[in-house]
A and B are shown apart, each in its own frame.
Chain A
Amino acid sequence: MNAKYVRELLFVLIVLSINIGFGQTVTGEVTSSGTPLPGASIVVKGTTNGTQTDFDGRYTLSNFADDAIMVISYLGFITQEIPIQNREVIDIVLVEDAEALSEVVVVGYGTQRRSDLTTSISTISSEKLAEIPSTDIGQALQGRAAGVTVTNGGSPGERNAVRIRGLSTFGNGDPLYVVDGVFTTSISNISPASIKKVDVLKDAAAAAVYGSRGSNGVIIITTDKGKEGKPKFNFNTYTGWQRSNKRYDVLNTAQYIQYISEINAQGQVPNAGGTTIDIINDNPNFNGNGVETDWQDALFRSAPITSHDFNVSGGSEKATYSFGASVFDQDGIYIDTNFKRYTFNANSEFKITDKFKVGETFALGFTERVAPQVSDGREPLLNVLASAPYTLIRNADGSFSGQTDADNNNARNQIRVQDSDDNLSRNTSIIGSLYAEYELLEGLKFRTQFGLDAFYFLQDNILRAYDEGGQFSKPNTDISKTRANQISRIFTNSLSYNNTFGDVHNIGATLVSERQDIKFQTLTASSTNDVTNLINELVGTGGTSSLTEEEVLISYLGRLNYAYDGKYLVSGSIRRDKSSLFGPNNQVGWFPAASIGWVVSKESFLIDNPVINNLKLRASYGVTGNNRIPRDVANANVAFQLNYPIGGQTQLASGLSGIANPDVKWEEGIKQNFGFDLGLWNNKVTLSGDYFINESNDLLVSEPTRPSIGGGGGNAGLPVIRNAANIQVDGFELTLGYTDSEGDFTWGASANITFAESEVKSIGRNDQILQGRINPLEASVSRLAVGEPLYHFFGLVFDGVYSTEQDIIDDLGADNLDDFSGTSTASYLVRPGDVRYRDINGDGDITDEDRTIIGDPNPDFTYAINLNAAYKGFDLSALITGVQGADAFNTNVFNLQGQEGVLNRGVEVLDRWQAPGDVTNVPRFRFGRNTNNDISTRFVEDASYARLKNVTLGYSLSSNVLDRAFNGHLSKIRVYVQSQNLVTLTDYSGLDPEIEPFYSAAGIIEGLNIDRGRGPQPVTFLTGLQIEF
Chain B
Amino acid sequence: MVVAMLFIVSCDDDAVVLNNNEIPQATFFSTLDAAGLASAANATYVHFQTQGLYQRFGYILPDTFGDEMVPSGDPNFLPSYEYRISPELDQTALLWTQAYNGIARCNFLIRNEQLIRDRVANSDFTDADVTNRIGEARFVRGLFYFILVKRYGGVPLELEAETSITGVPRSTVDQVYDVIINDLTMASNMLFSKGATENGRATRGAAFGMLGKVYLQRKMYNEAQTALAQVSGYSLLSKENYRDNFNDGGEFNDESMFEVIFNGEAENNAQWNANGEGVAEVTFHAQEYSGWGNARPSQKMIDEFEDDDHRLADAILQPGDTFGAANDQIKDDGNVWFKFSQLYENNATVPEGATNARVLRYADVVLMQAEVENRLGNDPQAIAFLNQLRTRSELPLYGSAEMDSRGYPVDTPDNVFRAIVHERMVELCAEQQRFDDLIRWDLDAQELATDDSGNPRGYNPDVHRLMPIPQVEIDTNEELNSSDQNPGY
Contacts and interface: CB of A to CB of B under 8 A. Distances in A.
Contact of A645 (B93, B98, B281): B281
A655 B40 contact: yes
Q: Size band of the B side of the interface? A: 35 or more
Interface stretch (B263-271, B324-332, B402-410): B263-271
Interface string A429-440: 000000000001
Nearest to A576: B12
Contact of A656 (B7, B12, B104, B265): B104
B476 A704 contact: yes
Contact of A446 (B2, B9, B52): B2
A448 B277 CA distance: 48
A580 B20 CA distance: 13
A714 B51 contact: yes
Nearest to A717: B476
Interface string A344-369: 00000000000000000000000000
A549 B21 CA distance: 8
Interface stretch (B155-163, B209-217, B238-246, B363-371): B155-163
A649 B198 CA distance: 11
B5 to A, nearest CB: 5
Interface in A632-677: 632, 635-657, 659
Contacts of B101: 710-713
A967 interface: no
A545 to B, nearest CB: 10
Contact of A554 (B9, B20, B201, B265): B9
A743 to B, nearest CB: 56
Interface string A576-590: 001110000001000
Report the 6 A-B pairs with minimum CB-CB distance, sorted nearest first. A710-B104, A647-B198, A637-B22, A653-B42, A548-B20, A653-B43
Contact of B100 (A493, A543, A708): A708
Nearest to A518: B17
A625 to B, nearest CB: 15
A522 to B, nearest CB: 11
B75 to A, nearest CB: 15
Contacts of A710: 100-105, 107, 158, 163
A459 interface: no
Interface of A: 440, 446, 448, 491, 493-495, 511, 513-515, 543, 547-554, 578-580, 587, 631-632, 635-657, 659, 704-717, 720, 765
A707 B158 CA distance: 11
Contacts of B3: 495
A493 B90 CA distance: 57
B349 interface: no
Contacts of A652: 39, 42
B5 A448 contact: yes
A644 B15 CA distance: 36
B93 A716 contact: yes
A641 B276 CA distance: 8
Interface string B184-211: 0000000000000011110000000000
Nearest to A520: B20
Contacts of B267: 543
A513 B411 CA distance: 93
Nearest to A713: B97
Nearest to B2: A446
B151 to A, nearest CB: 14
16 contacts: A493-B9, A495-B6, A513-B9, A514-B9, A547-B20, A550-B17, A637-B24, A644-B42, A644-B46, A645-B261, A654-B39, A706-B477, A710-B105, A710-B158, A712-B104, A716-B472
A636 B25 contact: yes
A553 B16 CA distance: 9
Contact of A712 (B2, B96, B156, B275): B275
A346 B267 CA distance: 49
B262 interface: yes
Interface of B: 2-3, 5-10, 12, 14-25, 28, 36, 38-40, 42-43, 45-46, 49-52, 90, 93-94, 96-98, 100-105, 107-108, 155-156, 158, 163-165, 167-168, 198-201, 261-263, 265, 267-268, 273, 275-279, 281, 470, 472-473, 475-477
Contacts of A639: 21-23
Contacts of A580: 15-17
Given A513-B6, A643-B281, A654-B28, 11 more contacts: A446-B5, A553-B15, A643-B42, A646-B200, A655-B108, A656-B104, A659-B163, A704-B475, A707-B472, A709-B100, A714-B98
B25 A554 contact: no
B278 A554 contact: no
Contacts of A554: 9-10, 12, 14-15
Nearest to A551: B17
B198 A550 contact: no
B105 A587 contact: no
Contacts of B279: 643, 650
A714 B22 contact: no
Contacts of B268: 543
Contacts of B38: 651
Contact of A706 (B23, B25, B473): B473
Nearest to B264: A645
A988 to B, nearest CB: 39
Contacts of B6: 493-495, 511, 513
Contact of A720 (B18, B22, B165, B473): B165
A106 to B, nearest CB: 21
A402 B168 CA distance: 58
Contacts of B108: 655-656
Contacts of B107: 710
B25 A637 contact: yes
B17 A552 contact: yes
B163 A709 contact: yes
A707 B470 contact: yes
Contacts of A578: 12, 15
Contacts of A657: 22
A646 B198 contact: yes
Contacts of B263: 645, 649-650
Nearest to B29: A638
Contact of A654 (B40, B93, B262, B473): B40
Contacts of B23: 637-639
Contacts of B199: 646-648
A656 B39 contact: no
A707 B100 contact: yes
Contacts of B273: 714
Residue in A491, A494, A511, A638 whose Cβ sees the most chain B Cβ within 10 Å: A638
Nearest to B144: A710
A641 B277 contact: yes
A715 B97 contact: yes
Contacts of A653: 39-40, 42-43, 45-46
A712 to B, nearest CB: 6
Contacts of B477: 706, 708
Residue in A578, A631, A706, A713 whose Cβ sees the most chain B Cβ within 10 Å: A706
B476 A712 contact: no
Contacts of A548: 20-21
B94 A708 contact: no
A491 B277 contact: no
B473 A707 contact: yes
Nearest to A719: B476
B42 A642 contact: yes
Residue in A491, A495, A543, A655 whose Cβ sees the most chain B Cβ within 10 Å: A655
